A and B are shown apart, each in its own frame.
Chain A
């Protein structure tokens, strides 16, 4: 484990927001390594910068300074267009409110990221079917998001996140909008993704039960990271 290079390596990361003339520091000198196949939970009070950090790791926001190396790429050096391309094949996103496109069926929502690849229609169909099988929703593929429960929608979102086979999944409060049973279900699914498919997951959560599923829990407070041990919960 020690000899293996971490899949995510963050060094001296700073991020602040500007509100008028006021500068609000959010992340201050974050340094963090995440090993491949890790399931990491990120906790902390509201407004502590969890989503901000997650967005930086996922390449949908720009840091002020510092480096984020993922695999062999320092994503802080990429242009916006390069980042978009990088995201499409390297990260999968799971959001609190699922963020499915309401006019597309479950199948089509999962297919969406694949339309950016050179895959044929037949190949896409195979990939989508496989992803829907992983989340156990093959029988609902023709349903629109409005016809699915929250838990089912989140499973479709997970299928969409894994369909391009990215190494990393980021999840911002994936169970935040779900009841306990559905939340358990989603967390179980995420554990399987780590154990069976070897994905690396970084999950922001407020729920200690959710965090318990993770191997590592990091605590972010006032822009500074601390580590928690499992037993502290």
Chain B
């Protein structure tokens, strides 16, 4: 017998109360973990983007295109290694609710610039060769059950009409954070069609993607590009890919902040619940703690008993909560893959779960411990009987 076994048995004296408190902690950690995962999913695009690649777009708005002639001018600027370009296509497959990102890009330079899209050399070559070819991420392909060689028709919104594409490659992401739900096709196909149907929309790129010889030159090159097109018909705005992605996320920042707030509120609520449990527990045991003090047990023993019991409850709830977070995130992920292409429970989230549980366990025991320690032994003993 030692103080730890006493602590353990104390924890199970009111089985229902302990069970309900652990359950509360479990649900709080589960909710907290999922909310944190939503937040990191929100920033996944930023996470995955690179600080050594630049994006050049119209300084007025992303919806205004830039002349294709800018490509060669950008290429001449010192520090620029690769220039690729593309258009946001904005098409959908069969039904509008089947949303996924789809772009027209210059295939060769694009794949060179984005080595995180991993393709076999044969598929790469097949994609570059076929004007109507497209590549798609592994997740997207399995979502719709496409096979190599299949013809897939997208309905255009920005570029009206039915567009037929042939699946030439299936890429997988090099990193956990690489989006595997994208649909990428040949810019030439788009441009040729535009030349025939709406000539004024031909030879225009929505954005340029630029690879640098040296990441440290990012800001110098950005300034230089924008200076080159100053006072031209279409002025540019160049920033790192990270800043560009962050710009998208910042439009929805209020939602992220709200989710963040809710995730902490959940923790504060469970803190109040556990604190209440510990306060009840400690009040009931004032007499027993006084007996222990009478026998010579000190402040630290009493504190150990209360903190230990509280942490036992919160850590048990935390462990179960973490275990449940993974299957819950999986269900979430498949239900929301259109909104959150990257949705997985990060190690950081697990750490935050554990830290929260420790903080809750400690915070909940401070006042009960303070009271139990400071009650005079003689007064505590009076509480019995």
Residues of A whose CB lies within 8 Å of any CB of B are: 51-52, 55, 58, 60-61, 81, 84-85, 87-89, 93, 95-97, 99, 101-104, 107-108, 111-113, 115-116, 160, 177
Contact = CB atoms under 8 A, between A and B. Distances in A.
B384 A108 contact: no
A51 B287 CA distance: 16
Contacts of B381: 60, 95, 99
Nearest to A92: B295
B162 to A, nearest CB: 74
Given A55-B378, A61-B376, A116 B1 contact: no
Contacts of B377: 55, 60-61
A101 B297 contact: no
Contact size range, B? 20 to 34
A85 B293 CA distance: 10
A59 B376 CA distance: 12
Contacts of A93: 294-295
A96 B385 contact: yes
Interface stretch (B5-13, B78-86, B173-181, B233-241): B5-13
B288 interface: yes
B293 A101 contact: no
Interface of B: 1-3, 6, 9-10, 13, 287-288, 291-298, 376-378, 381, 384-385
A81 B288 contact: no
Contacts, number: 66
Given A97-B384, A99-B287, A104-B1, A87 B6 contact: no
Given A60-B378, A61-B377, A84-B297, A99 B6 contact: no
Nearest to A161: B295
Among B3, B292, B378, which residue has the most Cβ atoms of chain A within 10 A? B378
A85 B10 CA distance: 24
Nearest to A160: B295
B11 to A, nearest CB: 10
Nearest to A86: B296
Contacts of A61: 376-378
Contact of A103 (B9, B376, B378): B9
A60 B381 CA distance: 10
A103 B10 contact: yes
Contacts of A116: 295-297
Among B288, B376, B381, which residue has the most Cβ atoms of chain A within 10 A? B381
B385 A97 contact: yes
B298 to A, nearest CB: 5
Contacts of B291: 95, 99, 101
A104 B376 CA distance: 24
Nearest to B295: A113
A93 to B, nearest CB: 5
The 6 closest A-B pairs by CB, nearest first: A88-B296, A103-B9, A97-B385, A60-B377, A108-B1, A99-B291
B377 to A, nearest CB: 4
B298 A81 contact: yes
A55 B10 CA distance: 27
B379 to A, nearest CB: 9
